[in-house]
Structure 1
């Protein structure tokens, strides 16, 4: 009986030892990278470099291995549905492609389709919108290039000449928009606020006082917001003492000119009819006057416009 108990105890101890060894092995495997890095750092005497984040970006990559074609293209001048696309007589799926007019170097992105084999014409059929974007003339064969585009994610290599971004340490305090903010250790320090731009004085030139030309953005905004002062009405044109006339009408109807002159005289205004033009196409100009002073001229002009002759103006 004692032998059986001793055997069970030995088995129990052995199992505990195996379990402990297994757990220890797992811990060493999980921390293998850190232990190796620490050992390498201690061996070289330098601290281990912190892991860097890898930046990536999306961009369009030309994939001629999928499909590419250099051939003559044509827009027949007719309206076509859809947007910018080209069609080729090849067994292709709908793809996004770069379309290049090799005659002028213009390039656009569009869709690629398969056209029927029995359709006549050049190898590349071009839609109306694509042709207009590529500056293609209707009915004119054009050297073109088509290549498939695919969106791929590529890593962005850091600039080796760029200075490393400083990280903040514990206990640092920054002022952001006038508010004191405690820094989070390991994060990037905020960039210092740029100083307000100082307006530059106008350059001195030819003895000009440049101090009067200095201004600020605020002053410019305030000046723009200030409503303009009311301007005084334009003064009446000066009239010479030799006399000034007012042209009332000018046309090719003699009877109409005589009626206009009679109406002026009925309203106390003197005037005359002046004939000009050619014998085959005479013109008749009705003028009122003459007026020797500015006051008389202004009074007469107002009366004439009040009679309905809004286009009347000063004449000689």
Structure 2
């Protein structure tokens, strides 16, 4: 079991202005629609939760003693020093939930990891039955996203814009060997849904399996950000706007409420 505590921070560098200047000087055709009716976009930094296994990474049996508990969704472990926001997973059924990690006294019998009644219910764990769970810390990080300058509120969707230099460097990284249906042609500008960015490869594979079990095409790819490996999971593509909306509902119902539309 690994539990480490440290304060981490990530700074992202936006290269959109530099790329635009280089394209203008060299007369490059970037393939974008420059007509007056094409929507202009801006790149903003959006705060999102990203897994941080270097801070907290617990994988062992957890137990709910069957008694109702206060405080909502949480787990407690004797090695935890400070409260942490964590993602808790039950690998036996693929269920997961966001909650808190607290410390507990060492004088007890049974598994070291204690689950609250709400956490056990969300994870499908029965009272008095030790069940292996995974607990990984979450950290807020700034991620660049591309959004329209003006968009109707009811249709607004946050869409990802990866760093162009990182896109070039990572173009050769192969997707995981997960068998998925052959993608259908799409006329949408952003036909995919990003399910999440995971700090643990096994958790990313679990997400792909969960999405594939719903009848959707899902895949994952490896990224390296600030010399740390991450695994990105996407679903799609959707052929039409209606299909994209239906796909978003399916993944949201499957527990991936933070999914949003991306190019690829």
TM over 0.5: no
| Structure whose CA Rg is larger | 1
Q: What TM bracket, shorter-length normalisation?
A: 0.3 to 0.5
Greater fraction strand: 2
Relative to the length of structure 1, the TM-score reads: 0.35
Relative contact order: is structure 1 or structure 2 higher (C-alpha 8 Å, sep ≥ 6)? Answer: 2
